[in-house]
Structures are given as C-alpha cells and as structure tokens.
Amino acid sequence: MINFSNYKVRGPGIEITDKVMLAKLNSYVDGVKSIGIKLLPIEGFYRFDSISALGVCSYSRTGNSVIIGLNNLLFKDEQSLKKTFLHELCHAEIYAKHDGHGRIWKSVAYKVSRKFNVDITRTTNVKTASSVLSSAITKAREAKAVYRITCETCGETSTRSRASNVTKYPHRYKCTICNTSTLRVDRV
Ligand SMILES: [Zn+2]
Ligand SMILES: [Zn+2]
C-alpha cells in the first residue's frame, strides 16, 4: 500500500491494485532492469485525473523511493500508457533523481527507448499524443470547460476551464487558425 503522505503527489491519487495492470507495469520495470538500469525502490503505482500532465514520478520526502502516477486517460490507450510509464520510470533511475530531463535522464531514456522500440525521449503532451489519447484529453477538457472561445470569422472553437487573459480580453488575441481578431467568449 502506498503511504501517500510520504510524497508530494499531484491531486488525489488512487493506488493501482488491479492484478493484470500491475503485472503489465512490473513487466516493464523488469525489462528496464534487464538492461542494467538501476532504479530506486518503487513503492507503488497510482492513477490520477488531470487535463495536462500524463504521468508523474514522485520522490519520497527522504528521496529513497518513488511512486509513479498515470493519468486515468492513458488507460484507454495501451501505447501511450506504455510510453508514459517508461518515461516516468527513467526518472526513477538512481542517478537521474535531480536531473530533470537532463543528460543523465536522456542517456537512460535512449537505452529504454531502444529496448522497447519506442521513443520516450520527448515528453508526451496533448500535441504529440496519439489520436485516441488526444481526443480523450479534448473530451475531458470539454467536460471541465467553463468558457468557450469561438472565432466569429472561421468558426474555430476551443474551451478553457478557468479565466485567463484570453477569456477576459478576447479582442486582444488572434484566432490561431485564420489570424483575425474576432474571438467571442461565452460561458458554457
Ligand atoms: Zn519527464
Ligand atoms: Zn478564425
């Protein structure tokens, strides 16, 4: 069982206890270890809700262990789950702890990419996500939408979950599609 109070975690997490999923995640961990990569002890895996971050590797307050969080949306898309999980695992490498996406982390990520025949060296975000995942993210964002921005020239729409400069001062911004300043903001 994860003791969440030992970690600074993003939002409330729910520990993954499903045996099939745990077996899959642990097989990735074993694959990473099989190529000589040394990982900090992993206390567990959890799922979380977010419309921005896909995965997170949290170090314990003592720095001696990690927990790995996966966005709930990933469970709809096997390949994105695998890539995100492997990416986060590289942050658990013993020397990569304070390296962010620096040199040490990258060299680990290259080895892991080669082993699993995927590219995890770039962070996955909404723009680089697979179509299954990006449509899931778009849907999740729309469910949380408070504002809808519509371009009155070309009809392009997007949503925002909180107020920002573009929702307050839409006339100062241009449409990313047609480049006109005819944005309208409606509360959803
Ligand atoms: Zn990362
Ligand atoms: Zn437009």
In the chain, what are the domains? 4-124 (3.30.2010.10), 145-187 (2.20.28)
- Nearest ligand to the CA of 120 is 1
14: tokens are 């729910």
Question: What digits encode the pLDDT tens for the residues 122-173?
Answer: 766 655 677 778 888 888 888 888 899 999 999 998 888 889 999 999 999 9
pLDDT tens digits, 76-120? 889 999 999 999 999 999 999 888 999 999 999 999 999 999 988
Cα–ligand 2 centroid distance for 155 (angstroms): 6
Find the ligand nearest to 178 CA. Answer: 2
Over the stretch 16-63, which tens digit does the pLDDT of each residue have? 999 999 999 999 999 999 999 999 999 999 999 888 788 999 999 888
Taking the CA atoms of 23, 27, 28 and 30 in sequence, report the sign of the dihedral they define: positive
List CB-based neighbours of ion ligand 2 within 5 Å: 151, 153-154, 156, 175, 177-178
Ligand 1 centre distance from Cα of residue 101 (Å): 6
Q: How far apart, in whole angstroms, are the C-alpha atoms of residue 101 and residue 153? A: 41
57 CA to centre of ligand 1 in angstroms: 8
